[in-house]
């Protein structure tokens, strides 16, 4: 016997309960409450408030909400406990299970909804910078574990000739376009000793943060960052370029792709990593498709429309859309690469 689908009303109520879970995670993340429980152990409200410089009455309510939502446990002394498994989801910045930064991105996106109501009427855009630190830092922190654990050890090694070039002498030069806070740039440099990587991004606070992350990572001068529009790249000799989750945000991707083509050596590839959405619009969609449309209606489409001219791509950039951009930018070669990932699809563009 099949279970009937819940009514829309029931479904939205369940979603609202989940939204409050996300709000609680945002507070726990931003206030360092989870970090304190992970580092200094179980606590009651007074102890946790004392440790984190917060108000004990609010913390008591938050702790009870967290235990009610089965995010925290309560021990025999009545103290609240963060399990190791949940700390991996909520605290460890390099954990493959990390989800807490997603709540920062959602809060940033939802905070712009009143402006988006106006934008939907006028057709105006809303730039990435308008979503603030929660979006910028949340995006960087959310992708960081995948870059740290997969980019240099699985994704790039899956592209045999590129992996060989990056591992060979003379040391290759790589361009990381739309690098955000630079975790991908740093991961490439770490994976391939000797390789030099230039990260470039339009967003100045991202580049400032990227330089700080690189300094803290001790990569030295093998990574550099430039605050610039990638469409202005001019006549370099890179051995490879990569763009991760950024083509669909670009107001006008063709001039950017064209400039990258001009900055690459003749045989050098451009690897584009973007959303693994369906090949065509075919509702109802799965959770990945719903997730990507969620970002599109709140963030990426308004961001892409914040500069003129804009082709208004949105998060749901299907393979045929990128193929058309690649053609228009003069790339003769376009292929979807057989790299496994639930959220990202990998493309290779070449001359």
Ligand X SMILES: C[S@@+](CC[C@H](N)C(=O)[O-])C[C@H]1O[C@@H](n2cnc3c(N)ncnc32)[C@H](O)[C@@H]1O
Q: Contact positions toward ligand X, by CB under 6 A?
A: 128, 139-140, 143, 177-180, 184, 200-203, 206, 229-231, 244-246, 249-250, 256
Per DSSP, the residues of 53-107 read T--HHHHHHHHHHHHHTTSSEE-TTS-EE--HHHHHHHT-TT-TT--HHHHHHHH
Q: Which is nearer to ligand X, 334 or 343 (CB)?
A: 343
CB 44 within 8 A of CB 50: no
Q: Which is nearer to ligand X, 49 or 256 (CB)?
A: 256
Q: Which is nearer to ligand X, 60 or 149 (CB)?
A: 149
Residues 58, 59, 61, 67, Cα dihedral to 10°:
160
Q: Which is nearer to ligand X, 80 or 147 (CB)?
A: 147
State the nearest-atom distance from the C-beta of 298 to ligand X, in Å: 13
State the nearest-atom distance from the C-beta of 198 to ligand X, in Å: 12
Structure tokens at 116: 């988006």
State the nearest-atom distance from the C-beta of 248 to ligand X, in Å: 8
State the nearest-atom distance from the C-beta of 188 to ligand X, in Å: 12
Q: Which is nearer to ligand X, 201 or 289 (CB)?
A: 201
Q: Which is nearer to ligand X, 37 or 260 (CB)?
A: 260
Q: Which is nearer to ligand X, 200 or 317 (CB)?
A: 200
State the nearest-atom distance from the C-beta of 230 to ligand X, in Å: 4
Which residues neighbour 155 within 8 Å (Cβ) at sequence distance 6 or greater?
Answer: 273, 339, 341, 346
State the nearest-atom distance from the C-beta of 183 to ligand X, in Å: 7
How many Å separate Cα 67 from the centre of its chain? 29
Going by the DSSP 8-state scheme, the letter that residue 343 receives in this structure is S
State the nearest-atom distance from the C-beta of 195 to ligand X, in Å: 18
Residues 171, 340, 346, 197, Cα dihedral to 10°:
-30
State the nearest-atom distance from the C-beta of 219 to ligand X, in Å: 17
- What are all long-range contacts of 321-326, with beta carbons under 8 Å and residues at least 24 apart? 322/247, 322/272, 322/274, 322/347, 325/247, 325/253, 325/254, 325/257, 326/257
Per DSSP, the residues of 192-221 read STT-EEEEEES-HHHHHHHHHHHHHHT-GG
For residue 52, report the phi and psi dihedrals to the nearest 5 degrees.
-110, 5
3-class SS of residue 168? coil
How many Å separate Cα 251 from the centre of its chain? 18
Q: Which is nearer to ligand X, 82 or 175 (CB)?
A: 175
Q: Which is nearer to ligand X, 154 or 164 (CB)?
A: 154
State the nearest-atom distance from the C-beta of 47 to ligand X, in Å: 36
CB 111 within 8 A of CB 133: no
């Amino acid at each position: 016997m099949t279970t009937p689908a819940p009514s829309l009303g029931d479904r939205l109520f369940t979603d609202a309960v989940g939204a409050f879970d996300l709000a609680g995670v945002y507070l726990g993340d931003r206030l360092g409450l989870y970090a304190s429980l992970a580092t200094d152990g179980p606590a009651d409200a007074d102890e946790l408030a004392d440790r984190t410089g917060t108000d004990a009455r609010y913390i008591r309510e938050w702790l009870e909400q967290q235990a009610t939502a089965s995010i925290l446990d309560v021990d025999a002394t009545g103290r609240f406990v963060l399990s190791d498994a949940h700390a991996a989801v909520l605290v460890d910045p390099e954990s493959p299970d990390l989800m807490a930064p997603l709540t920062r991105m959602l809060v940033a996106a939802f905070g712009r909804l009143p402006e988006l109501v106006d934008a939907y009427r006028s057709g105006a855009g809303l730039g990435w910078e308008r979503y603030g630190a929660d979006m910028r830092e949340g995006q960087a922190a959310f992708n960081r574990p995948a870059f740290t654990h997969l980019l240099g050890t699985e994704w790039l090694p899956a592209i045999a000739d590129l992996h060989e070039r990056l591992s060979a002498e003379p040391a290759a030069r790589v361009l990381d376009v739309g690098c955000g806070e630079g975790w991908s740039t740093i991961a490439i440099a770490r994976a391939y000793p000797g390789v030099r990587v230039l990260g470039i991004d339009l967003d100045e606070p991202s580049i400032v943060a990227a330089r700080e992350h690189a300094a803290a990572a001790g990569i030295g001068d093998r990574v550099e960052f430039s605050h610039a529009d990638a469409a202005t790249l001019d006549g370099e000799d890179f051995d490879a370029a990569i763009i991760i989750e950024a083509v669909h945000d670009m107001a006008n991707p063709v001039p950017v792709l064209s400039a990258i083509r001009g900055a690459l050596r003749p045989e050098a590839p451009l690897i584009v990593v973007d959303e693994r959405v369906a090949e065509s619009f075919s509702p109802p969609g799965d959770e990945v498709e719903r997730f990507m449309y969620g970002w599109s209606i709140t963030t990426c489409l308004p961001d892409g429309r914040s500069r003129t001219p804009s082709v208004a791509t949105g998060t749901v950039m299907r393979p045929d859309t990128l193929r058309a951009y690649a053609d228009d930018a003069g790339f003769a070669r376009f292929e979807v690469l057989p790299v496994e990932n639930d959220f990202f699809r990998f493309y290779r563009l070449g001359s």
